[in-house]
Amino acid sequence: MEMVAPWVRVLMMLAMAFLILFPASVDCMVRHYKFNVVMKNTSRLCSTKPIVTVNGKFPGPTIVAREDDTVLIKVVNHVKYNVSIHWHGIRQLRTGWADGPAYITQCPIQPGQIYMYNFTLTGQRGTLWWHAHILWLRATVHGAIVILPKRGVPYPFPKPHKEAIVVLSEWWKSDVEAVINEAMKSGLAPNVSDAHTINGYPGLVSSCLSQDSIYVVPVTLFSLVVTNRTISSYIDYGFSIMFFFFFFLGGFTLPVEAGKTYMLRIINAALNEELFFKIAGHQLTVVEVDAVYTKPFKTDTVLIAPGQTTNVLLTANRGPAGKYLVAVSPFMDAPIAVDNVTATATLHYSGTLDHGPTILTNPPPQNATPVAANFADSLRSLNSKLYPAKVPLKIDRSLLFTIGLGVNPCSTCVNGSRVVAGINNVTFVMPTVSLLQAHFFNTSGVFTDDFPGNPPTQYNYTAALQPVTNFQTETGTKLYRLSYNSTVQLVLQDTTVIAAENHPVHLHGFNFFEVGRGLGNFNPKKDPKKFNLVDPVERNTISVPSGGWSAIRFRADNPGVWFMHCHLEVHTTWGLKMAFVVDNGKGPSESLLPPPTDLPIC
Ligand SMILES: *[C@@H]1O[C@H](CO)[C@@H](O)[C@H](O)[C@H]1NC(C)=O
Ligand SMILES: *[C@@H]1O[C@H](CO)[C@@H](O)[C@H](O)[C@H]1NC(C)=O
Ligand SMILES: *[C@@H]1O[C@H](CO)[C@@H](O)[C@H](O)[C@H]1NC(C)=O
Ligand SMILES: *[C@@H]1O[C@H](CO)[C@@H](O)[C@H](O)[C@H]1NC(C)=O
Ligand SMILES: *[C@@H]1O[C@H](CO)[C@@H](O)[C@H](O)[C@H]1NC(C)=O
Ligand SMILES: [Cu+2]
């Protein structure tokens, strides 16, 4: 037997003690977390500002649980803003009250108030994440959710030596709420961010080189919160994932040992930018996206859109020593301004001198459409016996939604007009009470269920030039009603109104299969013949290609009100959003549960 440190032995003994004390009962447990939403002065890019955080951390704490566990998160709002938190990608079967988007499934948690999110993890395993779902607070209010497989169930790939969470984000030197408020007033696009971050740090950004001083702060990647089971879950997770990271102020460092394989759980928490992720000299093997296993495939570049998560295996096969650059850069293949600053981190082989050279890599060009398309085309569901792809084959509802920008009159705006966005020419208007409450209590006057299932007028959606007559949108709080368990095919069609752009569309409450994608206008006669109905990728957020379309399918087996929106925050703000209302079924477990007693009121 290998020599183990005394503290490891102590932990092992404690683990055994717990197994004796809590036999089998640990099969599915209740995990308690407390999220204090607090301001925290934070310095990046040589300047300091107060940011909204959970528990003073940026990125916020990681939630760790197993499939079948129930998670209770008590959110306490200590800031001046209204707050709500979304558990991005969690199915929330019958528990829409815990989904989180403000004014969709709940009223906001007002300053001084508390709300307990209560949900069970069913049929999902992998990486998801949580983020604020109100205003632009998710810029700094976000963190990882790790769903481990059920106890004793292995990953469908070789067990990695260690795991690490890699949260990608954007940083503005200005107050983020001031950035979007300024844009809403002018009717123009908001300022792009000043840098991207990897686990909170931009790395070597030339505009700020005074941060070379190295601070080494060991930080555990997961924070297990005070609970009666703290120690058991610590051990439970600790053995598989205990992993210390070192934050250098000059950037984030990922320590590896030559010959070992690591799993990176990558999350794009950026507000407005799709990102490329690359590590110099190393191939990555994609094994899971959005908490669904994929057929493993090797790539040197990962494309990840806001809202998406991607697990990759990284084999440290370049040793025995060396330092390799990790680069995160934007993907934008439309004439739209983005933050073009590359964030950097370092892959550091153990035994390498800190001051040695780092092997560099060039990020793909910003407009590298082929790199992006190649990545998207490589994704396939694992579709194994244990993890089948249950693609709906018979379709009850076939929908076509155009997604894109528009321009509406605005007398107080800079140009007398404002940029808006919409779906099927509807710019969604947020209600002042929650849609789920209005649905559950049958309150009239909050929404209508006449969202158009097809574009109200047909035109060449992807024409090089759009006539000005296509610019204006209609406004309203319109929902699309689905009966329980109906199967839906939804074609998301980008438009070239103002400009074609790649939109990462996120559906709450469901996973869907992307059965097809293409450029130009969707052809309902020809394109379905090429659909992949065997092993299409299953996920919760899909990047619709710029000037193209993506066809998704899902089964409406989750009663409630489910938001669907572009996960570029600027487009959501401009109105690229709608919701599905899914009626109750007839069976005993086919209806929405009643609201919890502490549900915030408006
Ligand atoms: C942040 O710093 C300012 C100026 O030093 C101070 O007034 C404020 O109280 C600090 N805020 C927090 C949340 O620590
Ligand atoms: C969480 O919700 C379940 C129903 O889904 C309920 O039985 C349980 O009491 C709730 N727990 C708390 C702490 O509210
Ligand atoms: C946005 O950028 C403009 C031009 O650089 C600057 O004048 C303005 O102050 C910025 N707005 C915010 C909120 O930082
Ligand atoms: C911890 O256990 C005690 C006694 O069993 C119980 O009263 C308390 O509510 C539990 N706390 C949590 C956070 O579950
Ligand atoms: C917070 O939410 C409540 C309920 O919707 C609303 O009345 C209030 O105006 C909001 N506060 C702010 C500062 O927006
Ligand atoms: Cu979301």
CATH number at residue 585: 2.60.40.420
Note whether residue 563 is domain-resident: yes
Tell me what the mean pLDDT of segment 156-165 comes to.
97
Distance, CA of 561 to CA of 539 (rounded, Å): 19
CA atoms within 13 A on the CB side of 288: 25
Ligand 1 centroid from CA 39, angstroms: 9
Note whether residue 425 is domain-resident: yes
Minimum CA distance residue for ligand 5 atom 5? 602
Minimum CA distance residue for ligand 2 atom 6? 118
Residue 328: its pLDDT value, please? 97
Structure tokens at 199: 């686990």
Residue 354: its pLDDT value, please? 76
Cβ-contact 131, 293 below 8 angstroms: no
Residues 6+ apart with CB under 8 A from 458: none
Query: 222: pLDDT confidence band, cut at 50, 70 and 90?
Result: very low
The per-residue pLDDT of the chain, averaged, comes to: 90
Torsion over CA: 39, 40, 43, 47 (sign) = positive
Cβ-contact 122, 82 below 8 angstroms: no
pLDDT of 46 > 80? The answer is yes
Minimum CA distance residue for ligand 4 atom 9? 228
Ligand 5 centroid from CA 186, angstroms: 23
Minimum CA distance residue for ligand 3 atom 12? 179
Note whether residue 554 is domain-resident: yes
Distance, CA of 387 to CA of 150 (rounded, Å): 14
Note whether residue 32 is domain-resident: no
pLDDT of 508 > 60? The answer is yes
Cβ-contact 286, 378 below 8 angstroms: yes
Note whether residue 380 is domain-resident: no
Q: Is 108 in the pocket of ligand 5 (CB under 6 A)?
A: yes
Note whether residue 28 is domain-resident: no
Tell me what the mean pLDDT of segment 98-118 comes to.
98
Query: 229: pLDDT confidence band, cut at 50, 70 and 90?
Result: very low
DSSP state of 593: P
pLDDT of 11 > 80? The answer is no
Residue 40 CA: nearest ligand 1 atom is 13
Note whether residue 34 is domain-resident: no
Tell me what the mean pLDDT of segment 297-315 comes to.
98
Residue 246: its pLDDT value, please? 36
DSSP state of 392: -
Ligand 3 centroid from CA 191, angstroms: 7
pLDDT of 20 > 70? The answer is no
Residue 7: its pLDDT value, please? 54
Residue 15: its pLDDT value, please? 54
Residue 225: its pLDDT value, please? 33
Q: Which residues line ligand 4 (CB under 6 A)?
A: 32, 227-228
Query: 236: pLDDT confidence band, cut at 50, 70 and 90?
Result: very low
The pTM of this model reads 0.90
Note whether residue 58 is domain-resident: no
Domain of residue 572: give its range: 397-590
Ligand 2 centroid from CA 145, angstroms: 20
Residue 32 CA: nearest ligand 4 atom is 13
Q: Which residues line ligand 3 (CB under 6 A)?
A: 174, 178-179, 182, 191
Residues 6+ apart with CB under 8 A from 150: 27, 66, 67, 68, 125
Q: What percent of the chain has pLDDT over 90?
A: 85
Residue 81 CA: nearest ligand 5 atom is 13
Minimum CA distance residue for ligand 5 atom 7? 602
- From 316, 280, 328, 292, select the one nearest 162 (Cα to Cα): 316
Residue 217: its pLDDT value, please? 30
Ligand 3 centroid from CA 302, angstroms: 32
Residues 6+ apart with CB under 8 A from 187: 410, 413, 414, 415, 417, 418, 419
DSSP state of 236: H
pLDDT of 391 > 70? The answer is yes
Of 228, 229, 230, 232, best ligand 4 pocket probe by most atoms within 8 Å of the beta carbon: 228
Ligand 1 centroid from CA 41, angstroms: 6
> Tens digits of per-residue pLDDT, 245-265?
333 435 889 999 999 999 999
Ligand 6 centroid from CA 563, angstroms: 9
Query: 356: pLDDT confidence band, cut at 50, 70 and 90?
Result: confident
Number of domains observed in the structure of the chain: 1
pLDDT of 471 > 80? The answer is yes
Structure tokens at 197: 């971050």
pLDDT of 121 > 80? The answer is yes
pLDDT of 3 > 70? The answer is no
